Amino acid sequence: MPRIYFIDVTNRDGVQTARISLSKFQKTMVNWYLAKLGIHQSEIGFPFTGHETNYVEANLELARKGAFGNMILEGWCRANAGDVRAALPTGVEHLNLSISTSDQMIKHKFNGKLDRDGVMKEMVEAVKIAKEAGIKTIGINAEDASRTDTQYLVEFALAGKAAGAQRLRYCDTIGYETPYSIRRRLEELAQGIEMPLELHCHNDLGMAVANSISGARGAIEGGVDAYINTCVNGIGERAGQADLLSCILALKFGKGYERFYEIADEIDLTVAWRLNNYVSRSFGVPIPINQPGVGANAFAHEAGIHADGALKDRHNYELYDYEAIGRVEEVCEDTGRTIHVGEYSGMAAFKHVYGQLGISFEDDDIARYVLNLVQYANAQNQIPLTSDELRFIAMYPDEVRRVLTITPPAAKGSEAPK
């Protein structure tokens, strides 16, 4: 039976969300947590964009060093020749190429610059360039697929497939789908194109998770693998996207789903608590009290009947165990003297904090190098670094230095500062 894979897009679609952002170092840490969780692929950003170049190249080097296990790092481009050519020098090996396919967007977004044939031509040219350059996996994204007629989607997908694409990303760009409609649509598409399908569902009607799961079922019933796009904590443009943890929980514990679906990669749910809280802290967006799995009330009981039942047997009122997703019963915080290392710290505080983590350095030159990186990382994040961040910097200092480096272009006609 076909299987389900997860592609998390927090570092690409999530960071496009209005009013919030992540530093390049925080995006790197998100990749690290996603890999620990067992996610198949992370859409890490925009390899054709200048300020992403060092981050992308450094993360690819981290991947080669094993920092992200088997997780695939993939970049996003518009489906045009210029974006693809600009992305190639980074060494990225996996790309998703995106272009609008609905009549609404072709008419009112492209404003006459492209018609249906033009959209197809742009996409095919971009795929061919990527394929000839040795890109290992190519996905073609049909933006606003849910408002695109099926026949044109089939033609679009088959043209991309013939040019060398391996997957079609079905984008419910404005959250228009319902669980029933998307299941039937994806089954029909799967049978028509015979290539794996990605579900990219937005949450404008509050159904992104349900649509993702139902759409995956349709793809599987149509005989192809399904790839579910997610964002951590359901963050994303407007009302957000399908929440990563909610989708995993639905597949593992939803009635009938645990027997019907097979998640291709081994998921370590105990990482979820750390990942979700890291992303919440980094974005500065609190986790809702009622969020599945990680919300403050996800395992809280007050009503007499519920409290009595939970005390007798947790499974009376809890579908899954909080330990399964890495929650601990108590979170302790020091209230006395604390020593932190950050943007303005010196060597004494640095050595003290790293000593508490069980990390020492061969000599003061190495220690000073790592301290400088800690200072710069803190300056970019503008919040205290976590223990995991401090460990990561000490483990991969050269790659972190690259991640922290952004070189703006010089003004036209002038030389870049030396």
What is the rounded CA–CA span in Å between residue 137 and residue 177? Answer: 27
Which of 6-15, 293-302, 329-338 is predicted with the least confidence, judged by mean pLDDT?
A: 329-338
In our burial notation (b when 16+ CB lie closer than 10 A, e otherwise), range 141-157 reads bbbbbbbbeeebbbbbb
185 pLDDT exceeds 90? yes
pLDDT at 260: 73
The pTM assigned to this predicted structure is: 0.96
Q: What is the pLDDT of residues 110-122, one digit of tens each?
A: 999 999 999 999 9
Q: Residues 26, 14: contact at Cβ < 8 Å? A: no
Place 126 in a pLDDT band, splitting at 50, 70 and 90. very high
Q: Residues 9, 43: contact at Cβ < 8 Å? A: yes
What is the rounded CA–CA span in Å between residue 323 and residue 214? Answer: 28
Q: Where are the domains of the chain?
A: 4-282, 299-331, 347-403
Q: Residues 127, 164: contact at Cβ < 8 Å? A: yes
186 pLDDT exceeds 60? yes
Q: What is the pLDDT of residues 268-292, one digit of tens each?
A: 999 999 999 999 999 999 999 999 9
Which of 87-91, 142-146, 213-217, 330-334 is predicted with the least confidence, judged by mean pLDDT?
A: 330-334
Nearest residue to 202 (alpha-carbon basis) of 169, 168, 231 = 231
Strand 167-172 and strand 137-143: pairing? Answer: parallel
pLDDT at 337: 84
413 pLDDT exceeds 90? no
Q: What is the pLDDT of residues 343-355, one digit of tens each?
A: 999 999 999 999 9
What is the rounded CA–CA span in Å between residue 73 and residue 70? Answer: 9
Instruction: Measure Cα distances from 78 to 48, 85, 174 in Å.
Output: 9, 11, 18
What is the rounded CA–CA span in Å between residue 390 and residue 372? Answer: 12
**Residue 142 forms beta bridges with which residues?**
99, 170
pLDDT at 348: 94
Burial of residue 279 (CB within 10 Å: 0-12, 13-18, 19+) is buried
pLDDT at 257: 85
Q: Half-sphere exposure of residue 298, counting CA atoms within 13 Å on the CB side? A: 22
pLDDT at 416: 52
Place 394 in a pLDDT band, splitting at 50, 70 and 90. very high
**CATH architecture, domain defined by 4-282:** Alpha-Beta Barrel (3.20)
Instruction: Measure Cα distances from 328 to 268, 320, 323, 357 in Å.
Output: 16, 14, 7, 20
404 pLDDT exceeds 70? yes
418 pLDDT exceeds 60? no
Q: Which helix (H) or strand (E) holds 410?
A: none
pLDDT at 357: 96
Q: What is the pLDDT of residues 151-171, one digit of tens each?
A: 999 999 999 999 999 999 999
Q: What is the 3-state secondary structure of 358-376?
A: CCCCCCHHHHHHHHHHHHH
What is the rounded CA–CA span in Å between residue 218 and residue 224? Answer: 9
Q: Which residues contact 288 (CB under 8 A, 6 or more apart)?
A: 295
415 pLDDT exceeds 70? no
Place 301 in a pLDDT band, splitting at 50, 70 and 90. very high
Q: What is the pLDDT of residues 54-65, one digit of tens each?
A: 999 999 999 999
What is the rounded CA–CA span in Å between residue 213 and residue 261? Answer: 10
> To the nearest whole percent, how much of the chain has pLDDT over 70?
98
Place 261 in a pLDDT band, splitting at 50, 70 and 90. confident
Q: What mean pLDDT, rounded, does the chain reach? A: 95
Q: Residues 211, 177: contact at Cβ < 8 Å? A: yes
What is the rounded CA–CA span in Å between residue 5 and residue 14? Answer: 19
Q: Which residues contact 302 (CB under 8 A, 6 or more apart)?
A: none
